[in-house]
Structure 1
Amino acid sequence: MKKRNLNPLVLLTLVLVMSCNKDEIAVKNIAVEQKPNLRMMTEAKSWTNILIDNFDPGSNLDANWQRTERLDYNSNLCMYRPWNASIANLDNKSCLRLRSYKKDNRWESAHVKSRVNFKPNYNEQVHVQVSAKVVAVENSTFKGFAETYGVWPAIWTVQENAWPVQGEIDIMEAYSYGYYGGEKYASNLFYGYNAGQSLLDQNAVRHYDYIGEGWHTYDMYWSNVNGSVYVDILVDGNQVANYHNGIDPDLRLENFGPHNVILNLNIGSNTGIFNNNAINVFWNTDMYVDYVRVQKTSI
Protein backbone atom coordinates (compact mmCIF):
# COMPACT_ATOMS: atom_id res chain seq x y z
CA MET A 1 0.00 0.00 0.00
CA LYS A 2 2.99 2.31 0.28
CA LYS A 3 4.25 4.54 -2.57
CA ARG A 4 2.84 2.39 -5.31
CA ASN A 5 1.69 2.56 -8.87
CA LEU A 6 -0.90 -0.19 -8.69
CA ASN A 7 -3.60 -1.84 -10.65
CA PRO A 8 -6.86 -1.04 -8.77
CA LEU A 9 -8.28 -3.48 -6.22
CA VAL A 10 -11.81 -2.89 -5.04
CA LEU A 11 -13.34 -2.42 -1.61
CA LEU A 12 -16.19 -0.09 -0.95
CA THR A 13 -18.38 1.91 1.30
CA LEU A 14 -19.28 -1.40 2.44
CA VAL A 15 -18.17 -3.54 5.17
CA LEU A 16 -15.05 -5.46 4.26
CA VAL A 17 -14.95 -8.50 6.43
CA MET A 18 -13.09 -11.71 5.90
CA SER A 19 -15.28 -14.75 6.08
CA CYS A 20 -16.15 -17.84 4.05
CA ASN A 21 -18.22 -16.83 1.05
CA LYS A 22 -17.69 -19.37 -1.75
CA ASP A 23 -18.31 -17.05 -4.70
CA GLU A 24 -16.47 -17.83 -7.91
CA ILE A 25 -13.04 -16.29 -8.18
CA ALA A 26 -11.51 -15.37 -11.52
CA VAL A 27 -7.79 -16.03 -11.21
CA LYS A 28 -5.37 -14.55 -13.71
CA ASN A 29 -1.64 -14.54 -14.35
CA ILE A 30 -0.63 -16.74 -11.41
CA ALA A 31 2.95 -17.98 -11.55
CA VAL A 32 2.90 -21.43 -9.93
CA GLU A 33 6.09 -23.25 -8.98
CA GLN A 34 6.23 -27.04 -8.64
CA LYS A 35 6.56 -27.58 -4.90
CA PRO A 36 4.87 -29.44 -2.04
CA ASN A 37 1.45 -28.28 -0.93
CA LEU A 38 2.62 -26.47 2.18
CA ARG A 39 -0.86 -26.13 3.66
CA MET A 40 -1.27 -29.91 3.65
CA MET A 41 2.23 -30.31 5.07
CA THR A 42 1.27 -28.32 8.17
CA GLU A 43 -2.36 -29.41 8.62
CA ALA A 44 -1.59 -31.91 11.36
CA LYS A 45 0.99 -29.79 13.15
CA SER A 46 0.43 -27.64 16.20
CA TRP A 47 0.38 -23.88 15.76
CA THR A 48 1.80 -21.24 18.07
CA ASN A 49 -0.39 -18.14 18.36
CA ILE A 50 1.32 -14.83 17.55
CA LEU A 51 -1.83 -12.68 17.37
CA ILE A 52 -5.46 -13.75 17.87
CA ASP A 53 -7.97 -10.90 17.94
CA ASN A 54 -11.72 -11.52 17.72
CA PHE A 55 -12.55 -7.88 18.49
CA ASP A 56 -14.85 -8.90 21.32
CA PRO A 57 -17.26 -6.35 22.86
CA GLY A 58 -15.46 -4.15 25.36
CA SER A 59 -12.00 -5.37 24.35
CA ASN A 60 -9.06 -2.96 24.33
CA LEU A 61 -8.31 -2.31 20.66
CA ASP A 62 -5.06 -0.53 21.54
CA ALA A 63 -3.65 -3.63 23.20
CA ASN A 64 -2.97 -5.25 19.82
CA TRP A 65 -3.13 -2.34 17.35
CA GLN A 66 -1.63 1.09 16.76
CA ARG A 67 -4.23 3.52 15.41
CA THR A 68 -2.82 5.94 12.85
CA GLU A 69 -3.19 9.71 12.55
CA ARG A 70 -1.73 11.00 9.26
CA LEU A 71 -2.40 11.30 5.55
CA ASP A 72 -2.38 8.10 3.49
CA TYR A 73 0.83 7.40 1.55
CA ASN A 74 -1.13 7.10 -1.71
CA SER A 75 -3.78 9.80 -1.30
CA ASN A 76 -3.40 13.26 0.14
CA LEU A 77 -7.21 13.40 0.15
CA CYS A 78 -7.44 10.73 2.87
CA MET A 79 -6.68 11.60 6.50
CA TYR A 80 -6.53 8.76 9.02
CA ARG A 81 -7.98 9.50 12.45
CA PRO A 82 -7.62 7.19 15.48
CA TRP A 83 -11.31 7.50 16.42
CA ASN A 84 -12.41 6.02 13.07
CA ALA A 85 -11.11 2.60 14.17
CA SER A 86 -13.41 1.09 16.81
CA ILE A 87 -15.25 -2.03 17.97
CA ALA A 88 -18.73 -2.25 16.41
CA ASN A 89 -21.38 -4.83 15.52
CA LEU A 90 -22.35 -6.07 12.06
CA ASP A 91 -24.35 -9.16 11.10
CA ASN A 92 -24.44 -10.20 14.77
CA LYS A 93 -20.64 -10.16 14.88
CA SER A 94 -18.46 -7.98 17.09
CA CYS A 95 -15.89 -6.52 14.69
CA LEU A 96 -13.18 -3.99 14.12
CA ARG A 97 -14.80 -1.18 12.12
CA LEU A 98 -12.72 1.11 9.90
CA ARG A 99 -15.03 4.03 9.01
CA SER A 100 -14.67 6.53 6.15
CA TYR A 101 -16.70 9.68 5.37
CA LYS A 102 -16.30 13.06 3.71
CA LYS A 103 -15.35 16.06 5.83
CA ASP A 104 -15.02 19.42 4.12
CA ASN A 105 -12.85 18.84 1.00
CA ARG A 106 -11.18 15.70 2.31
CA TRP A 107 -12.12 12.18 3.39
CA GLU A 108 -11.37 10.86 6.84
CA SER A 109 -10.85 7.15 7.45
CA ALA A 110 -8.96 4.57 9.54
CA HIS A 111 -5.68 2.63 9.49
CA VAL A 112 -4.36 0.20 12.11
CA LYS A 113 -1.04 -1.64 12.47
CA SER A 114 -0.40 -4.70 14.64
CA ARG A 115 1.92 -4.24 17.60
CA VAL A 116 3.49 -7.68 17.02
CA ASN A 117 5.64 -8.59 14.03
CA PHE A 118 6.63 -11.95 12.58
CA LYS A 119 8.37 -13.89 9.82
CA PRO A 120 9.06 -17.57 9.18
CA ASN A 121 12.52 -18.67 10.22
CA TYR A 122 14.27 -21.70 8.71
CA ASN A 123 11.73 -24.52 8.16
CA GLU A 124 8.83 -22.56 9.59
CA GLN A 125 5.51 -21.35 8.23
CA VAL A 126 3.47 -18.29 9.26
CA HIS A 127 -0.30 -18.27 8.60
CA VAL A 128 -2.22 -14.97 8.56
CA GLN A 129 -6.02 -15.18 8.28
CA VAL A 130 -8.48 -12.28 8.18
CA SER A 131 -12.26 -12.28 7.80
CA ALA A 132 -13.66 -9.03 6.43
CA LYS A 133 -16.52 -7.23 4.68
CA VAL A 134 -17.02 -3.73 3.23
CA VAL A 135 -20.33 -1.86 3.26
CA ALA A 136 -21.61 1.63 2.54
CA VAL A 137 -24.60 3.32 4.13
CA GLU A 138 -26.92 5.99 2.69
CA ASN A 139 -30.12 7.10 4.46
CA SER A 140 -29.94 4.00 6.66
CA THR A 141 -29.79 1.82 3.52
CA PHE A 142 -26.85 -0.51 2.97
CA LYS A 143 -25.00 -0.26 -0.33
CA GLY A 144 -22.62 -2.76 -1.88
CA PHE A 145 -18.96 -2.17 -2.36
CA ALA A 146 -19.54 -2.22 -6.12
CA GLU A 147 -21.75 0.88 -5.79
CA THR A 148 -19.04 3.02 -4.24
CA TYR A 149 -16.30 4.83 -6.14
CA GLY A 150 -12.75 5.64 -5.12
CA VAL A 151 -12.67 3.33 -2.09
CA TRP A 152 -9.41 1.39 -1.61
CA PRO A 153 -9.44 -1.12 1.29
CA ALA A 154 -6.44 -3.34 1.99
CA ILE A 155 -5.11 -6.15 4.16
CA TRP A 156 -1.33 -6.42 4.03
CA THR A 157 1.92 -7.13 5.88
CA VAL A 158 5.03 -4.97 5.71
CA GLN A 159 8.26 -3.86 7.32
CA GLU A 160 7.89 -0.08 7.02
CA ASN A 161 11.47 0.82 7.94
CA ALA A 162 13.39 1.64 4.75
CA TRP A 163 10.46 0.39 2.65
CA PRO A 164 10.60 -1.80 0.53
CA VAL A 165 14.01 -3.24 1.46
CA GLN A 166 12.38 -5.81 3.78
CA GLY A 167 9.36 -6.31 1.57
CA GLU A 168 5.61 -5.86 1.50
CA ILE A 169 2.93 -8.52 0.96
CA ASP A 170 -0.52 -7.34 -0.10
CA ILE A 171 -2.96 -10.08 0.79
CA MET A 172 -5.93 -8.12 -0.50
CA GLU A 173 -6.36 -4.75 -2.16
CA ALA A 174 -9.66 -3.64 -3.63
CA TYR A 175 -10.33 -0.69 -5.90
CA SER A 176 -13.90 0.59 -6.13
CA TYR A 177 -15.00 1.93 -9.53
CA GLY A 178 -18.72 2.32 -8.94
CA TYR A 179 -21.67 0.26 -10.11
CA TYR A 180 -20.97 0.54 -13.83
CA GLY A 181 -17.19 0.51 -13.64
CA GLY A 182 -16.86 -2.76 -11.74
CA GLU A 183 -14.35 -3.48 -9.01
CA LYS A 184 -10.84 -4.98 -9.05
CA TYR A 185 -9.21 -7.17 -6.40
CA ALA A 186 -5.58 -8.24 -6.26
CA SER A 187 -2.62 -9.35 -4.22
CA ASN A 188 0.86 -7.96 -4.82
CA LEU A 189 4.46 -7.82 -3.57
CA PHE A 190 6.93 -4.95 -3.23
CA TYR A 191 10.69 -5.32 -2.84
CA GLY A 192 13.83 -3.36 -3.66
CA TYR A 193 17.45 -2.89 -2.67
CA ASN A 194 17.11 0.82 -1.84
CA ALA A 195 14.61 2.67 0.34
CA GLY A 196 11.73 4.17 -1.62
CA GLN A 197 12.25 2.13 -4.80
CA SER A 198 10.41 -1.09 -5.60
CA LEU A 199 11.92 -3.13 -8.45
CA LEU A 200 9.09 -5.55 -9.17
CA ASP A 201 6.95 -3.33 -11.42
CA GLN A 202 3.76 -5.31 -12.21
CA ASN A 203 5.39 -8.75 -12.12
CA ALA A 204 3.92 -9.60 -8.72
CA VAL A 205 0.34 -8.37 -9.30
CA ARG A 206 -2.19 -11.20 -9.17
CA HIS A 207 -5.81 -10.20 -9.94
CA TYR A 208 -8.90 -11.93 -8.67
CA ASP A 209 -11.53 -9.72 -10.22
CA TYR A 210 -14.82 -11.06 -8.85
CA ILE A 211 -15.49 -12.29 -5.34
CA GLY A 212 -18.94 -10.80 -4.74
CA GLU A 213 -20.36 -8.78 -1.88
CA GLY A 214 -20.37 -10.02 1.69
CA TRP A 215 -17.90 -11.63 4.06
CA HIS A 216 -14.71 -13.18 2.73
CA THR A 217 -11.79 -14.98 4.32
CA TYR A 218 -8.25 -14.06 3.29
CA ASP A 219 -5.29 -16.32 4.03
CA MET A 220 -1.56 -15.85 3.61
CA TYR A 221 0.87 -18.76 4.08
CA TRP A 222 4.45 -17.51 4.31
CA SER A 223 6.84 -20.48 4.29
CA ASN A 224 10.58 -21.08 4.60
CA VAL A 225 11.42 -24.57 3.30
CA ASN A 226 15.11 -25.39 3.71
CA GLY A 227 15.92 -21.72 3.07
CA SER A 228 13.62 -21.31 0.04
CA VAL A 229 10.77 -18.90 0.75
CA TYR A 230 7.24 -19.00 -0.69
CA VAL A 231 4.10 -16.92 -0.19
CA ASP A 232 0.64 -18.34 -0.99
CA ILE A 233 -2.53 -16.20 -0.98
CA LEU A 234 -6.03 -17.70 -0.76
CA VAL A 235 -9.49 -16.14 -0.85
CA ASP A 236 -12.32 -18.20 0.63
CA GLY A 237 -10.03 -21.24 0.47
CA ASN A 238 -9.16 -20.79 -3.22
CA GLN A 239 -5.53 -20.06 -4.14
CA VAL A 240 -5.17 -16.80 -6.06
CA ALA A 241 -1.40 -16.29 -5.89
CA ASN A 242 1.83 -18.23 -5.38
CA TYR A 243 5.00 -16.18 -5.00
CA HIS A 244 8.62 -17.34 -5.24
CA ASN A 245 11.85 -15.71 -6.36
CA GLY A 246 11.38 -17.03 -9.89
CA ILE A 247 8.63 -14.52 -10.70
CA ASP A 248 11.13 -11.63 -10.93
CA PRO A 249 14.97 -11.58 -11.09
CA ASP A 250 15.09 -8.87 -8.41
CA LEU A 251 12.83 -10.61 -5.89
CA ARG A 252 14.55 -11.92 -2.73
CA LEU A 253 11.85 -13.32 -0.46
CA GLU A 254 14.49 -14.52 1.99
CA ASN A 255 15.15 -10.83 2.82
CA PHE A 256 11.55 -10.10 3.82
CA GLY A 257 10.48 -9.30 7.35
CA PRO A 258 9.78 -9.19 10.16
CA HIS A 259 6.38 -7.78 9.17
CA ASN A 260 3.39 -6.20 10.89
CA VAL A 261 -0.24 -6.67 9.80
CA ILE A 262 -1.90 -3.50 8.47
CA LEU A 263 -5.63 -3.00 7.88
CA ASN A 264 -6.74 0.24 6.25
CA LEU A 265 -9.47 1.88 4.19
CA ASN A 266 -7.97 4.47 1.85
CA ILE A 267 -10.02 6.91 -0.24
CA GLY A 268 -8.78 8.40 -3.51
CA SER A 269 -5.40 8.34 -5.23
CA ASN A 270 -2.48 10.66 -5.96
CA THR A 271 -1.54 8.76 -9.12
CA GLY A 272 -4.72 8.73 -11.20
CA ILE A 273 -6.10 5.33 -10.18
CA PHE A 274 -9.41 7.09 -9.50
CA ASN A 275 -11.07 10.27 -10.75
CA ASN A 276 -10.91 12.02 -7.39
CA ASN A 277 -13.74 14.35 -8.42
CA ALA A 278 -16.10 11.37 -8.67
CA ILE A 279 -15.43 9.77 -5.26
CA ASN A 280 -18.59 8.43 -3.61
CA VAL A 281 -18.61 6.87 -0.15
CA PHE A 282 -22.31 7.70 0.43
CA TRP A 283 -22.85 8.76 4.06
CA ASN A 284 -20.02 6.50 5.07
CA THR A 285 -18.25 3.40 3.87
CA ASP A 286 -16.92 0.91 6.41
CA MET A 287 -14.61 -2.05 6.36
CA TYR A 288 -15.50 -4.58 9.06
CA VAL A 289 -13.03 -7.19 10.26
CA ASP A 290 -14.45 -10.12 12.20
CA TYR A 291 -11.09 -11.53 13.30
CA VAL A 292 -7.35 -11.56 12.65
CA ARG A 293 -5.24 -14.67 13.33
CA VAL A 294 -1.47 -14.91 13.01
CA GLN A 295 0.11 -18.28 13.85
CA LYS A 296 3.42 -20.04 13.31
CA THR A 297 4.43 -23.70 13.02
CA SER A 298 7.48 -25.78 12.15
CA ILE A 299 7.61 -27.59 8.81
Structure 2
Amino acid sequence: MIKKGFATAIMLLFLGMSTSAIAQEKLIFEDDFNGDSLDMSSWNYEEGDGCPNLCGWGNNERQIYDRNYVEVRDGKLVITAVKEDGKYYSGKINTKDKVEFKYGEIEIRAKLGTGKGVWPAFWMLGADVEKVSWPASGEIDILEYVGREPGMVFTSLHTPASHGETMNTKKTRIEGIEDGYHTYRAVWTEDFIEFFVDGKQVYKFTPQEYDEEHYPFRKDFYLLVNMAIGGNFGGPEVDDSIFPVKYYIDYIKVTQI
Protein backbone atom coordinates (compact mmCIF):
# COMPACT_ATOMS: atom_id res chain seq x y z
CA MET A 1 0.00 0.00 0.00
CA ILE A 2 1.34 3.46 -0.91
CA LYS A 3 1.37 5.71 2.13
CA LYS A 4 -0.68 8.91 1.85
CA GLY A 5 2.29 11.26 2.40
CA PHE A 6 4.37 9.53 -0.27
CA ALA A 7 1.49 9.59 -2.72
CA THR A 8 1.00 13.29 -2.08
CA ALA A 9 4.68 14.00 -2.71
CA ILE A 10 4.56 12.06 -6.00
CA MET A 11 1.51 14.04 -7.09
CA LEU A 12 3.16 17.37 -6.24
CA LEU A 13 6.27 16.42 -8.20
CA PHE A 14 4.06 15.40 -11.12
CA LEU A 15 2.49 18.86 -11.00
CA GLY A 16 5.90 20.51 -10.97
CA MET A 17 5.68 21.53 -7.32
CA SER A 18 8.17 20.69 -4.59
CA THR A 19 7.28 19.53 -1.11
CA SER A 20 9.56 22.23 0.28
CA ALA A 21 7.50 24.92 -1.46
CA ILE A 22 4.34 23.56 0.13
CA ALA A 23 6.03 23.35 3.52
CA GLN A 24 6.91 27.04 3.35
CA GLU A 25 3.25 28.03 3.36
CA LYS A 26 2.57 29.54 6.76
CA LEU A 27 -0.83 29.74 8.38
CA ILE A 28 -0.78 32.97 10.34
CA PHE A 29 -4.45 33.18 11.30
CA GLU A 30 -7.51 30.95 11.17
CA ASP A 31 -10.87 31.11 12.88
CA ASP A 32 -13.48 28.49 12.06
CA PHE A 33 -15.86 29.72 14.80
CA ASN A 34 -16.34 26.27 16.27
CA GLY A 35 -16.57 27.48 19.86
CA ASP A 36 -19.50 28.97 21.67
CA SER A 37 -18.22 32.55 21.83
CA LEU A 38 -16.01 34.98 19.95
CA ASP A 39 -12.28 34.44 20.50
CA MET A 40 -11.31 37.67 22.21
CA SER A 41 -7.60 36.90 21.87
CA SER A 42 -8.07 37.64 18.15
CA TRP A 43 -11.11 39.91 17.90
CA ASN A 44 -12.42 43.23 19.22
CA TYR A 45 -15.95 44.58 19.13
CA GLU A 46 -16.60 47.96 17.54
CA GLU A 47 -19.69 49.60 19.00
CA GLY A 48 -21.78 52.75 18.70
CA ASP A 49 -22.69 55.05 15.84
CA GLY A 50 -19.22 56.47 15.32
CA CYS A 51 -19.96 59.74 17.10
CA PRO A 52 -18.56 62.15 18.02
CA ASN A 53 -15.50 61.74 15.81
CA LEU A 54 -16.96 59.77 12.90
CA CYS A 55 -20.73 59.96 13.05
CA GLY A 56 -22.38 57.50 10.69
CA TRP A 57 -18.97 55.81 10.46
CA GLY A 58 -17.95 58.33 7.79
CA ASN A 59 -20.55 57.05 5.32
CA ASN A 60 -23.85 58.34 6.73
CA GLU A 61 -24.66 54.80 7.83
CA ARG A 62 -27.76 54.31 9.97
CA GLN A 63 -26.83 51.42 12.23
CA ILE A 64 -25.63 51.41 15.80
CA TYR A 65 -23.09 48.66 16.31
CA ASP A 66 -23.66 46.52 19.39
CA ARG A 67 -21.89 43.33 20.49
CA ASN A 68 -25.24 41.74 21.25
CA TYR A 69 -25.77 41.38 17.49
CA VAL A 70 -22.58 39.32 17.06
CA GLU A 71 -22.66 35.66 18.03
CA VAL A 72 -20.87 32.36 17.43
CA ARG A 73 -23.34 29.55 16.89
CA ASP A 74 -23.30 26.12 15.21
CA GLY A 75 -19.78 26.62 13.83
CA LYS A 76 -20.55 30.02 12.32
CA LEU A 77 -20.00 33.67 13.12
CA VAL A 78 -23.41 35.32 12.81
CA ILE A 79 -23.95 39.07 12.49
CA THR A 80 -27.60 40.11 12.73
CA ALA A 81 -29.08 43.42 11.59
CA VAL A 82 -32.41 44.52 13.08
CA LYS A 83 -34.67 47.50 13.50
CA GLU A 84 -35.91 48.01 17.05
CA ASP A 85 -37.76 50.99 18.51
CA GLY A 86 -37.12 53.00 15.36
CA LYS A 87 -33.34 52.39 15.39
CA TYR A 88 -31.14 50.06 13.36
CA TYR A 89 -28.65 47.77 15.09
CA SER A 90 -25.95 45.47 13.71
CA GLY A 91 -22.52 44.05 14.53
CA LYS A 92 -18.90 44.80 13.71
CA ILE A 93 -15.63 43.18 14.80
CA ASN A 94 -11.95 43.70 14.01
CA THR A 95 -8.51 42.25 14.81
CA LYS A 96 -6.70 45.55 15.48
CA ASP A 97 -3.65 45.17 17.78
CA LYS A 98 -4.27 41.40 17.94
CA VAL A 99 -3.93 40.00 14.42
CA GLU A 100 -1.97 42.29 12.12
CA PHE A 101 0.18 41.16 9.21
CA LYS A 102 1.82 42.18 5.93
CA TYR A 103 1.03 40.26 2.71
CA GLY A 104 -0.69 36.94 2.32
CA GLU A 105 -3.75 35.14 1.02
CA ILE A 106 -6.85 36.19 2.93
CA GLU A 107 -9.98 34.09 2.55
CA ILE A 108 -13.50 34.10 3.95
CA ARG A 109 -16.36 31.67 3.35
CA ALA A 110 -19.63 33.46 3.92
CA LYS A 111 -23.34 33.58 3.26
CA LEU A 112 -24.48 37.12 2.57
CA GLY A 113 -27.13 39.07 4.36
CA THR A 114 -29.48 40.35 1.65
CA GLY A 115 -32.24 42.90 1.14
CA LYS A 116 -32.45 46.54 0.17
CA GLY A 117 -30.41 48.64 2.57
CA VAL A 118 -27.95 46.09 3.99
CA TRP A 119 -24.24 46.16 3.30
CA PRO A 120 -22.25 43.10 4.52
CA ALA A 121 -18.48 43.38 4.15
CA PHE A 122 -15.09 41.79 4.82
CA TRP A 123 -12.19 44.24 4.59
CA MET A 124 -8.85 45.44 5.90
CA LEU A 125 -7.35 48.69 7.20
CA GLY A 126 -3.76 49.78 7.66
CA ALA A 127 -2.72 49.27 11.28
CA ASP A 128 -1.43 52.86 11.36
CA VAL A 129 -4.90 54.34 10.70
CA GLU A 130 -5.01 56.16 14.05
CA LYS A 131 -1.65 57.78 13.30
CA VAL A 132 -2.01 58.72 9.62
CA SER A 133 -5.85 58.61 9.34
CA TRP A 134 -7.84 57.43 6.33
CA PRO A 135 -7.26 57.09 3.36
CA ALA A 136 -3.51 57.37 4.05
CA SER A 137 -3.86 54.12 5.99
CA GLY A 138 -5.07 52.32 2.89
CA GLU A 139 -8.13 50.07 2.71
CA ILE A 140 -8.59 46.66 1.06
CA ASP A 141 -12.21 45.65 0.47
CA ILE A 142 -12.22 41.90 -0.19
CA LEU A 143 -16.00 41.61 -0.12
CA GLU A 144 -18.71 44.22 -0.29
CA TYR A 145 -22.31 43.54 -1.22
CA VAL A 146 -25.18 46.01 -1.22
CA GLY A 147 -28.76 44.80 -1.32
CA ARG A 148 -29.79 47.58 -3.68
CA GLU A 149 -27.70 45.92 -6.44
CA PRO A 150 -28.62 42.22 -6.38
CA GLY A 151 -26.16 39.80 -7.95
CA MET A 152 -23.17 42.12 -7.66
CA VAL A 153 -19.94 41.77 -5.67
CA PHE A 154 -17.62 44.74 -5.16
CA THR A 155 -13.83 44.45 -4.67
CA SER A 156 -12.09 47.76 -4.08
CA LEU A 157 -9.00 49.58 -2.81
CA HIS A 158 -8.74 53.02 -1.23
CA THR A 159 -5.54 55.06 -1.47
CA PRO A 160 -4.53 58.70 -0.91
CA ALA A 161 -4.14 59.11 -4.69
CA SER A 162 -7.82 58.21 -5.14
CA HIS A 163 -8.79 60.66 -2.38
CA GLY A 164 -10.78 57.93 -0.71
CA GLU A 165 -13.06 57.51 -3.73
CA THR A 166 -13.56 54.00 -5.09
CA MET A 167 -11.61 54.51 -8.30
CA ASN A 168 -9.64 51.28 -7.93
CA THR A 169 -12.61 48.97 -7.97
CA LYS A 170 -14.43 46.23 -9.84
CA LYS A 171 -18.12 45.36 -9.74
CA THR A 172 -18.75 41.76 -10.80
CA ARG A 173 -22.08 40.10 -11.50
CA ILE A 174 -22.12 36.57 -10.10
CA GLU A 175 -25.12 34.37 -10.70
CA GLY A 176 -26.52 32.98 -7.47
CA ILE A 177 -24.21 34.95 -5.18
CA GLU A 178 -27.07 35.42 -2.70
CA ASP A 179 -27.62 31.67 -2.45
CA GLY A 180 -25.67 29.64 0.09
CA TYR A 181 -22.00 30.03 0.96
CA HIS A 182 -19.24 31.40 -1.29
CA THR A 183 -15.52 31.99 -0.86
CA TYR A 184 -13.93 35.41 -1.26
CA ARG A 185 -10.15 35.66 -1.41
CA ALA A 186 -7.48 38.33 -1.81
CA VAL A 187 -3.88 37.65 -2.77
CA TRP A 188 -1.92 40.59 -1.36
CA THR A 189 1.71 41.00 -2.38
CA GLU A 190 4.38 43.68 -2.37
CA ASP A 191 3.50 44.61 -5.96
CA PHE A 192 -0.18 43.82 -6.58
CA ILE A 193 -3.47 42.76 -4.99
CA GLU A 194 -5.69 40.22 -6.72
CA PHE A 195 -9.27 39.23 -5.84
CA PHE A 196 -11.14 35.96 -6.37
CA VAL A 197 -14.71 34.73 -5.81
CA ASP A 198 -15.17 30.95 -5.66
CA GLY A 199 -11.67 30.56 -7.11
CA LYS A 200 -12.31 32.77 -10.13
CA GLN A 201 -10.34 35.98 -10.54
CA VAL A 202 -12.53 39.08 -10.57
CA TYR A 203 -10.01 41.94 -10.22
CA LYS A 204 -6.29 42.64 -10.07
CA PHE A 205 -4.82 45.96 -8.99
CA THR A 206 -1.31 46.99 -9.99
CA PRO A 207 -0.52 50.66 -9.21
CA GLN A 208 0.97 53.21 -11.56
CA GLU A 209 3.55 54.09 -8.91
CA TYR A 210 4.81 52.34 -5.82
CA ASP A 211 4.64 55.16 -3.33
CA GLU A 212 2.46 55.84 -0.29
CA GLU A 213 0.02 57.80 -2.42
CA HIS A 214 -0.68 55.01 -4.89
CA TYR A 215 0.18 51.84 -2.97
CA PRO A 216 -0.06 52.25 0.82
CA PHE A 217 -0.09 48.47 1.13
CA ARG A 218 3.48 47.65 2.16
CA LYS A 219 2.81 47.56 5.90
CA ASP A 220 0.72 45.74 8.47
CA PHE A 221 -3.07 45.60 8.10
CA TYR A 222 -5.86 44.16 10.23
CA LEU A 223 -9.22 42.51 9.46
CA LEU A 224 -12.78 43.80 9.83
CA VAL A 225 -16.16 42.08 9.45
CA ASN A 226 -19.45 43.98 9.63
CA MET A 227 -22.87 44.54 8.16
CA ALA A 228 -23.81 48.19 7.72
CA ILE A 229 -27.27 49.59 6.98
CA GLY A 230 -27.93 52.37 4.48
CA GLY A 231 -25.32 55.06 3.99
CA ASN A 232 -23.57 56.49 0.97
CA PHE A 233 -22.87 53.05 -0.48
CA GLY A 234 -25.64 50.97 1.06
CA GLY A 235 -28.15 53.43 -0.34
CA PRO A 236 -30.61 55.97 1.10
CA GLU A 237 -33.57 53.57 1.01
CA VAL A 238 -33.93 50.72 3.51
CA ASP A 239 -36.65 48.10 3.22
CA ASP A 240 -37.68 47.60 6.84
CA SER A 241 -39.63 44.45 5.96
CA ILE A 242 -36.38 42.46 5.49
CA PHE A 243 -35.31 42.50 9.14
CA PRO A 244 -33.88 40.63 10.90
CA VAL A 245 -31.10 39.97 8.37
CA LYS A 246 -28.27 37.55 9.12
CA TYR A 247 -24.74 37.46 7.69
CA TYR A 248 -23.01 34.10 8.26
CA ILE A 249 -19.25 33.49 8.22
CA ASP A 250 -18.03 29.89 8.14
CA TYR A 251 -14.30 30.63 8.44
CA ILE A 252 -11.60 33.24 7.93
CA LYS A 253 -8.05 32.19 7.06
CA VAL A 254 -4.78 34.00 6.33
CA THR A 255 -1.72 32.24 4.90
CA GLN A 256 1.66 33.40 3.70
CA ILE A 257 4.20 31.75 1.40
Same fold, TM exceeding 0.5?
yes
Q: 1:237 to 1:43 in 2, by over 3 A?
A: farther
TM-score normalized with structure 2 length: 0.78
The correspondence of residues 169-208 of structure 1 with structure 2, limited to 5 A, is 169-177=140-148, 182-192=150-160, 198-199=162-163, 201-208=165-172
Using the TM superposition, give the Cα deviation of residue 251 of structure 1 relative to its aligned residue in structure 2, in angstroms: 5.0
* Conserved 8 A contact 1:186-1:209: no
- Please say if 1:87 is aligned against 2:72: yes
Using the TM superposition, give the Cα deviation of residue 44 of structure 1 relative to its aligned residue in structure 2, in angstroms: 3.4
Percent identity of equivalent pairs: 23
Cα distance in 1 for residues equivalent to 2:134 and 2:241 = 30
Greater helix content: 2
Match of 1:102 in 2: 83
Q: 1:107 to 1:231 in 2, by over 3 A?
A: same
Cα distance in 1 for residues equivalent to 2:111 and 2:217 = 32
- Please say if 1:274 is aligned against 2:235: yes
Structure 2 counterpart of 1:51, one-letter code? F
Structure 2 counterpart of 1:289, one-letter code? I
- Please say if 1:168 is aligned against 2:139: yes
Cα distance in 2 for residues equivalent to 1:107 and 1:243 = 35
The correspondence of residues 1-299 of structure 1 with structure 2, limited to 5 A, is 44=22, 46-71=24-49, 72-73=56-57, 74-89=59-74, 94-114=75-95, 115-120=98-103, 126-135=104-113, 145=114, 148-159=115-126, 160-161=129-130, 162-177=133-148, 182-192=150-160, 198-199=162-163, 201-212=165-176, 213-224=179-190, 229-246=191-208, 252-253=214-215, 255-269=217-231, 271=232, 273-276=234-237, 278-280=238-240, 282-297=242-257
Provide, for residues 192-212 of structure 1, a one-character-per-residue CA deviation record: whole Å limited to 9, x for no partner.
17xxxx526443110112241
Structure 1 counterpart of 2:208, one-letter code? G
Cα distance in 2 for residues equivalent to 1:45 and 1:232 = 23
Gaps of 5+ in 2: 1-16, 50-55
Using the TM superposition, give the Cα deviation of residue 100 of structure 1 relative to its aligned residue in structure 2, in angstroms: 0.6
* Conserved 8 A contact 1:75-1:266: no
Match of 1:142 in 2: none
Cα distance in 1 for residues equivalent to 2:43 and 2:62 = 24
Q: Secondary structure at the match of 2:227?
A: strand
* Conserved 8 A contact 1:84-1:98: yes
Provide, for residues 181-231 of structure 1, a one-character-per-residue CA deviation record: whole Å limited to 9, x for no partner.
6343210110117xxxx526443110112241210001111112xxxx110
Gaps of 5+ in 1: 1-39, 121-125, 136-144
* Conserved 8 A contact 1:203-1:247: no
Cα distance in 2 for residues equivalent to 1:284 and 1:43 = 46
Cα distance in 2 for residues equivalent to 1:274 and 1:248 = 33
Cα distance in 2 for residues equivalent to 1:78 and 1:252 = 31
* Conserved 8 A contact 1:171-1:233: yes
* Conserved 8 A contact 1:189-1:205: yes
What's the RMSD between the two structures over aligned residues? 2.7
Provide, for residues 68-110 of structure 1, a one-character-per-residue CA deviation record: whole Å limited to 9, x for no partner.
1122512341100012111013xxxx11111110012221000
Q: Secondary structure at the match of 1:205?
A: strand
Q: 1:216 to 1:185 in 2, by over 3 A?
A: same
Count of paired positions: 225
Provide, for residues 157-200 of structure 1, a one-character-per-residue CA deviation record: whole Å limited to 9, x for no partner.
112321111310101100102xxx6343210110117xxxx526
Query: Whose Rg is larger?
Result: 2
* Conserved 8 A contact 2:187-2:194: yes
* Conserved 8 A contact 1:99-1:110: yes
Using the TM superposition, give the Cα deviation of residue 252 of structure 1 relative to its aligned residue in structure 2, in angstroms: 2.7
* Conserved 8 A contact 2:33-2:72: yes
Structure 1 counterpart of 2:124, one-letter code? T
